[in-house]
Amino acid sequence: MPRDTICLAMQTNPTYSSLVALGDSFTEGMSDLLPDGTYRGWADLLAARMAAASPVSGTPTWRCAAS
Protein backbone atom coordinates (compact mmCIF):
# COMPACT_ATOMS: atom_id res chain seq x y z
CA MET A 1 0.00 0.00 0.00
CA PRO A 2 1.46 3.42 -0.92
CA ARG A 3 2.55 5.66 1.94
CA ASP A 4 -0.03 8.36 1.06
CA THR A 5 -2.80 5.78 1.26
CA ILE A 6 -1.62 4.62 4.68
CA CYS A 7 -1.46 8.19 6.01
CA LEU A 8 -4.90 8.97 4.60
CA ALA A 9 -6.36 5.83 6.16
CA MET A 10 -4.92 6.80 9.53
CA GLN A 11 -6.47 10.26 9.25
CA THR A 12 -9.91 9.22 8.04
CA ASN A 13 -10.41 6.06 10.09
CA PRO A 14 -8.76 6.58 13.50
CA THR A 15 -10.40 3.71 15.35
CA TYR A 16 -7.38 2.44 17.27
CA SER A 17 -6.72 3.25 20.91
CA SER A 18 -4.04 0.74 21.80
CA LEU A 19 -1.02 -0.98 20.32
CA VAL A 20 0.68 -4.16 21.47
CA ALA A 21 4.03 -5.01 19.95
CA LEU A 22 5.52 -8.43 20.60
CA GLY A 23 9.15 -8.85 19.81
CA ASP A 24 12.68 -8.82 21.04
CA SER A 25 15.49 -6.29 21.36
CA PHE A 26 14.81 -5.10 17.80
CA THR A 27 11.24 -4.16 18.75
CA GLU A 28 12.46 -2.43 21.89
CA GLY A 29 15.24 -0.61 20.01
CA MET A 30 18.14 -1.91 22.06
CA SER A 31 20.66 -0.88 19.40
CA ASP A 32 19.03 2.51 18.76
CA LEU A 33 20.49 4.62 21.54
CA LEU A 34 19.12 8.16 21.77
CA PRO A 35 21.29 11.13 22.86
CA ASP A 36 19.83 10.97 26.39
CA GLY A 37 20.88 7.32 26.78
CA THR A 38 17.42 5.79 26.39
CA TYR A 39 16.25 3.43 23.66
CA ARG A 40 13.47 3.93 21.12
CA GLY A 41 12.45 1.05 18.90
CA TRP A 42 10.08 0.79 15.98
CA ALA A 43 7.12 0.02 18.28
CA ASP A 44 7.57 3.35 20.10
CA LEU A 45 7.87 5.20 16.80
CA LEU A 46 4.73 3.56 15.42
CA ALA A 47 2.75 4.28 18.60
CA ALA A 48 3.80 7.94 18.52
CA ARG A 49 2.77 8.22 14.87
CA MET A 50 -0.60 6.59 15.48
CA ALA A 51 -1.25 8.75 18.55
CA ALA A 52 -0.38 11.90 16.60
CA ALA A 53 -2.94 10.91 13.95
CA SER A 54 -5.60 10.32 16.60
CA PRO A 55 -8.56 12.74 16.65
CA VAL A 56 -7.78 13.51 20.29
CA SER A 57 -4.06 13.98 19.83
CA GLY A 58 -2.25 14.94 23.00
CA THR A 59 -4.77 13.42 25.39
CA PRO A 60 -4.04 10.31 27.47
CA THR A 61 -6.40 8.00 25.56
CA TRP A 62 -3.66 5.93 23.95
CA ARG A 63 -2.16 2.78 25.42
CA CYS A 64 1.02 1.11 24.21
CA ALA A 65 2.71 -2.04 25.43
CA ALA A 66 5.87 -3.57 24.06
CA SER A 67 7.10 -6.97 25.07
Q: Enumerate the domain spans of the chain.
A: 3-66
Q: Is the pLDDT of residue 63 over 70?
A: no
Q: Does position 23 have pLDDT exceeding 60, yes or no? A: yes
pTM, two decimals, is 0.55
d(CA 66, CA 46): 11
Query: For residue 28, how far is the Cα from the chain centroid?
Result: 12
pLDDT band at 27 (very low <50, low <70, confident <90, very high): confident
- Nearest C-alpha neighbor of 12 from the set 4, 20, 21: 4
Question: What does the pLDDT average to over 46-53?
Answer: 79
**pLDDT (0 to 100) of residue 3:** 52
> What's the mean per-residue pLDDT of the chain?
70
